[in-house]
Structure 1
């Protein structure tokens, strides 16, 4: 019976190692996703700035076209001034020319500001691209490290699963079935009993149950936490003898 307990204890040890590895490994994909999200935010920032530059270039081109059109219009009107037959017609056309020139001045000032804004936006892109390159270099190394750890964890789990299969073959079939049912709900599925107390839930077992565990070196199920229980003292006494 003691050998069966040892086999089950070894099986649980493997399962606990696997659970620990998987719990640790579960963090890596989330960390990788967070790093990828961080890079994505940086890329989106660059794309947003590029879109802004494209819009500013369109606005600049529109202002330039408007100014050109207005200047052409002024030239034509100025050429027609001498052809005006009456003072009234001359004054009206001169007024239109004056309004157009003021409009050209206003749009020229807007164009100057737009050129400045465009220059600043282009510099912002350069800055964001430099920041992204630095961030990419640092985070790529971190992601490679995390992927390496993830692969290492997967390899370790695979090795342990192979070892588990070998250990499970040594466990009593009925005991193994009971263990597997409990293991799916919680780990550890098997706990020792020390001085009559279940180490899984700290319940004090009925004296008769505890004595039976000690004398038989067998297993039972804790009435409180439903884990498989065995008497640790009995095993220790057996070793000392």
Structure 2
């Protein structure tokens, strides 16, 4: 195969690979953004379940403490009646201690109920905040998920179409050259470079004079000593001449 035909094929392949890479990156970004919102929604749903269960447990604890409080109130009343019936100082002192101990336990339960109520109120406020966040993300997903999914399908279809075109281009490239191209592309992101003036177009490093002269003969590809990309020589056509070439020769006034 002529070198120029291989250059043309590699240029087409390199341009197509760049387009495919852009599409794949777009797919990755879109999917990542969508997955993040879905994940955030799942996490908020799970948090709401935990927080609601926590409030339920605290309400149960509060009810149990309230029951204990009523029982203690009855015990205190009975102890007071017992104190009133005491006939000796010893009996009175014992009954008084019992009343004081019950009052202390009663106050401890009141403090515990206040603490549980405070925690339950905080949890309810947290549930309200979490619910607002959850509803916001759910609304955003509802508005954009369908559109994003459709766009992902279009981008995926475009990428698949370009992959098919890529196979056609690869078929025009010598197998050994293609293997070399793929090896460099996987390492460097891009595999093809050219020179017009002795400088690599990709890494911008100066080429050895002997290598540059070899490339100018357009007999074979070279390899950049700095970035290892496949190198070829491209004639540097000034913009004005390129425009005239595309428009055709001037016919004069």
TM-score by length of 1: 0.75
For residues 157-178 of structure 1, give each alpha carbon's deviation from its aligned partner in whole angstroms, at most 9, with x where no partner exists. 2111111001111223343333
Bigger shift: residues 26-35 or 15-24: 26-35
Q: Which residue of 1 aligns with 2:232?
A: 230
Contact 2:218–2:233, Cα closer than 8 Å, also in 1: no
Are the structure 2 counterparts of residues 223 and 101 from structure 1 closer, same or farther at C-alpha, using a change threshold of 3 Å? closer
Rounded Cα–Cα distance in structure 2 between residues aligned with 1:21 and 1:185: 19
- Structure 2: which 5+ runs fail to align? 249-253
For residues 205-235 of structure 1, give each alpha carbon's deviation from its aligned partner in whole angstroms, at most 9, with x where no partner exists. 4555444434436433334433222221089
Which secondary structure does the structure 1 equivalent of 2:235 belong to?
A: helix
Q: Which residue of 2 aligns with 1:122?
A: 124
- After superposition, residues 1-241 of structure 1 pair within 5 angstroms as 1=2, 2-40=4-42, 42-43=44-45, 45-77=47-79, 80=82, 84=86, 86=88, 88-90=90-92, 92-93=94-95, 96-97=98-99, 99-101=101-103, 103-104=105-106, 107-108=109-110, 111=113, 114-115=116-117, 118-119=120-121, 121-139=123-141, 141-142=143-144, 146-207=148-209, 209-216=211-218, 218-233=220-235
Bigger shift: residues 16-25 or 118-127: 118-127
Count matched residues.
241
Bigger shift: residues 10-19 or 170-179: 170-179
Are the structure 2 counterparts of residues 116 and 185 from structure 1 closer, same or farther at C-alpha, using a change threshold of 3 Å? closer
Bigger shift: residues 188-197 or 102-111: 102-111
Q: CA deviation at 1:187?
A: 3.5
- Structure 1: which 5+ runs fail to align? none
